[in-house]
Structure 1
Amino acid sequence: MSAEADLSGTWTGVYFYPEDTAWNANDTYPPTPFTAELVDDQGLVSGTTLEPDLTGPVRNLEVRASIEGRRAGAELRFTKYPDSPRQDPIHYTGEISADGNSIDGHWVIPGDWSGTFRMQRRAPPVTAGLEATASVRN
Structure 2
Amino acid sequence: MGDASELLTGDWQGTYYYPARFEPVPFEASLIEFEGLVTGTTSEINRVAGGAEQKMQGHLDGERSGDAVHFSKVYVGAPDQHRLEILYAGMVRDKGTRIEGTWTIPGNWSGVFKMTRTRQKQVWFRRRWWFEKTGV
The interval holding the TM-score normalised by the smaller chain is 0.7 to 0.9
What residue in structure 2 maps to residue 123 of structure 1?
119
Q: Secondary structure at the match of 1:99?
A: helix
Q: Which runs of 5+ in 1 are unaligned?
A: 22-27, 125-138
- Give the CA deviation at 1:123: 3.5
Structure that is richer in helix per residue: 2
Q: RMSD between aligned alpha carbons?
A: 1.9
What residue in structure 2 maps to residue 107 of structure 1?
103
- After superposition, residues 80-99 of structure 1 pair within 5 angstroms as 80-83=73-76, 84-86=78-80, 87=82, 88-99=84-95
TM-score by length of 2: 0.79
Instruction: Establish whether residue 66 from structure 1 lines up as the match of residue 66 from structure 2.
Output: no
Asked which structure has the greater CA Rg, the reply is: 1
Do the aligned partners of residues 13 and 119 (structure 1) sit closer, same or farther apart at CA in structure 2, a change above 3 Å counting?
same
State percent identity of aligned pairs. Answer: 36
- Give the CA deviation at 1:2: 4.5
What residue in structure 1 maps to residue 45 of structure 2?
52
For 1:93, the aligned partner's letter is A
Cα distance in 2 between the residues matched to 1:80 and 1:45 = 12
- Give the CA deviation at 1:6: 1.1
- Give the CA deviation at 1:15: 0.2
Pick from 31, 34, 39 the counterpart of residue 32 of structure 2: 39
Cα distance in 1 between the residues matched to 2:3 and 2:108 = 31
Q: Secondary structure at the match of 1:57?
A: coil
Cα distance in 1 between the residues matched to 2:65 and 2:10 = 18
TM-score by length of 1: 0.78
Number of corresponding residues: 116
- Give the CA deviation at 1:56: 1.6
Q: Which segments of structure 1 move beyond 2 Å, counting only runs of 4 or more? A: 1-5, 57-60
For 1:100, the aligned partner's letter is G
Q: Secondary structure at the match of 2:96?
A: coil
Cα distance in 1 between the residues matched to 2:112 and 2:103 = 6
Q: Which runs of 5+ in 2 are unaligned?
A: 121-136
Structure that is richer in strand per residue: 2
- Give the CA deviation at 1:98: 3.7
